[in-house]
A = this chain, B = another copy of it.
Amino acid sequence: MIGRSTFGIDPWQVREPRLDLDVLAQSESVFALSNGHLGFRGNLEEGEPHGVPGTYLNSFFEERPLPHAEAGYGYPEIGQSIVNVTNGKLVRLMVDDEPFDVRYGQLVAHERVLDLRAGTLTRHVEWISPAGRRVRVHTVRLVSFTQRAVAALEYVVEAVDAPVRLIIQSLLVANEAVPTGSGDPRAAAALRSPLVPVEQDAADLRAVLVHRTRASGRQMAAGMDHRFESPGRVQAETRAAEDWARTSFVTVLQPGQRVRLEKTLAYGWSSRRSQQALRDQVASALTGARYSGLDGLLAEQRAYLDEFWDAADVQVEGDPVVQQAVRFGLFHVLQAGARSEGRCIPAKGLTGPGYDGHTFWDTEAYVLPVLTYTAPEATADALRWRHATLGQARHRARELGLRGAAFPWRTIGGAECSGYWPASTAAFHLNADVALAVDRYRTVTGDDSLEREGGLELLVETARLWMSLGHHDRDGRWHVVGVTGPDEYTAVVADNVFTNLAAAANLRAAAAAVRRNPDLARMLGVDMEEGASWRDAANAVHVPYDPELGVHPQHEGFTRLPEWDFAAHADYPLLLSAPYFDLYRRQVVKQADLALAMVWFGDRFAWEDKARNVDYYERRTVRDSSLSASVQAVVAAEVGHLDLAHDYTWEAALVDLRDLHRNTRDGLHIASLAGTWIALVNGFGGLRDHGGTLSFDPRLPQDIDRLRFTLRWHGRRLSVDVEPDRATYLLRDGSDGSDGAGVAGLRLRHAGEDVTVEAGVPLTLPVLPRAPLLPRPPQPPGRAPAARPTPSGPALL
């Protein structure tokens, strides 16, 4: 278990002051480096010990049969699993013939630092070998944001108090043994020896290995190149075999002397291009990286991140834990999405094998809303990937007897890979999540190009899906029945509020986009009647309400279901000790569902209903999903439970830095990491964009003194500085891209009032306290938010 002292609390880095092998797998996830195309887990350079070795290429997966105890029509038969590809992080060190291994000899010091501004993982080790030789090892690692096929590593060894003979082996290794699954359905299916050797090439200090996946025949290549500096004589050689390549250096150091190895790595894969093209592509990436050199790559990396942080940073005064966590989260969200270019953003990014490397609705519903405001080009890329899979989604809709497009609940390549339809195929809201991400991109960026490139088609095809899923009843109301909403502890229900409102928003957005693009719409076969039918259905949408309780049932009938016996079930997550049938029929909520509806479609709810809904669902929500806490934070803040919102923010923020769900070993929870931003900016900042209007309703909890954040709106940077009694808006760009003096201001809403912010002119407005309608609600026994340290008491975690 990651404890309070595993990582230091620093504003711009995650520092591990000493090595704790009990949380090695977790720290490998926390220290993962990725650019969205290539991902390295934070494995030690020497390879062992390890928790879960991991090197990933986005969308490089293997196929495997999906077994079903009882077959059914429309069940996917083929699964996809991310492959642990050739490991290029490996550098082994022999000190006077003894291997450097932290488990032997004496580990005098061991520090690792993930630097969120440099984009590097560094390591400082002082080690005395079993024979008594003392060395210092210093490494720096990066996966380049600017050269997406490239990673690099610096490996420095210093002799401390006696002469040592060093042998340094730099490796590429394919088909590393990976741990078998834990039996927990959330962990990935382990794949054994998935790679078949295709070609090996070694010359001078350079080597390339080409492999292909055993079943599906996807090809990949990994290459390495080296520079080596030593004060003494050096002998080097390179060899390659089917599953490994090795460059070895031998030298002798006197006390105080250092050797420095610079290792450059390049990766590529393709399911279409030839083996030769792939080999040459990797060679060219290596050549380019060598041209930049490690210093060049480090400089590019920092410049890239400087630009990102300039328009994305969030500052939290008064809570250094959340301060660190929100930057950690934004860094990993960026790493997941920065260069995914035409590929998906998996739920765990490229940080681990969890969920088989699949992408879910998390991306559109949690990750993209953050990227849209902070790195919008990554959002556009992710949505272009969805559009690229539209053919498969259309096919799936046909298979299911539906019109339009039905996107997969879980996939890497675009085909549905889920094995349990009530919690996947039936969760059609995913399609609205995709459509609304398209709509939100245009709203926030003001950029119409995505809509014309494919966004309109996504909106139209998802609207058609909803029209074939929904129906009018005999009283003219429009329903969606037999589907599953975000809460996975209810399934296959009628009129899930979130789903119905999301479907209606999808239909309205499609109708509006069709009106904006009549030419393209005609090409998609949309006529006036079809667009009108979308608006009509959206206007007739049924939203269940329980007038006796003054509460919205999460779905029709929810508030009349039997209650869950919380006292009888102390083990969480409940799904590991209770059958679905019992979870489904009771009032127990896995994750924010109606809460998410109240955030996304907040203008459809009266404030008093929101307050009662929060009170009702807080008592019944167990947060067995990491997607829940951030949304609960936002609604709690909105109805005035600011300290509760702060508690949830803390939980969302620390899901991985404290391993709250006990599966960080399998990879990070990218959506929950995005959720820290959501909790702070949507929650305490009150950011909303209902109806295309940028609005804020900021209000700070007791223990946060000041909250500052920057976001992009229509290409302009807007900084918001919230203090307990006031908020200051600063528009940092003009509408013409200048620094803004004299050009048009930005209209936004503050606490319900329309105001205009002029570029370069800070606008300070008052923040008024709002009393909650109801007292702070309790959570189910044992499911209060993970205890947050407060000025008056110690943290429990």
A positions within 8 Å CB-CB of B: 66-76, 79, 183, 185, 399-402, 418-422, 425-426, 471, 473-474, 481-483, 491-492, 494, 548, 556-557, 560-562, 568-569, 575-582, 584-586
Contact = CB atoms under 8 A, between A and B. Distances in A.
A433 to B, nearest CB: 18
14 contacts: A66-B69, A68-B69, A70-B419, A400-B581, A421-B581, A422-B422, A422-B581, A471-B562, A474-B548, A482-B584, A482-B585, A482-B586, A491-B492, A492-B581
Contacts of A418: 69-70
A185 B579 contact: no
A492 B494 contact: no
Contact of A400 (B70, B473, B474, B579): B579
A503 to B, nearest CB: 14
A42 to B, nearest CB: 29
B67 A584 contact: no
Contacts of A576: 73
Contacts of A400: 579, 581-582
A401 B68 contact: no
A478 to B, nearest CB: 11
Nearest to A568: B401
A493 to B, nearest CB: 9
B421 A579 contact: yes
Nearest to A400: B579
A580 B72 contact: yes
A425 B562 CA distance: 19
B575 A72 contact: yes
A651 to B, nearest CB: 24
A525 to B, nearest CB: 20
A579 B420 contact: no
Contact of A581 (B426, B568, B586): B426
A534 B290 CA distance: 80
A581 B67 contact: no
Nearest to A480: B585
A555 to B, nearest CB: 11
Given A401-B578, A482-B581, A492-B584, A72 B473 contact: no
Given A67-B69, A68-B67, A557-B494, A421 B481 contact: no
Contacts of A575: 72-73
Nearest to A575: B73
Contacts of A557: 494, 556
Nearest to A484: B581
A73 B425 contact: no
A562 to B, nearest CB: 4
A187 B465 CA distance: 34
B185 A70 contact: yes
Contacts of A185: 70-72
Given A68-B419, A425-B581, 10 more contacts: A67-B68, A68-B68, A68-B69, A72-B580, A73-B579, A73-B580, A400-B582, A481-B562, A492-B581, A492-B584
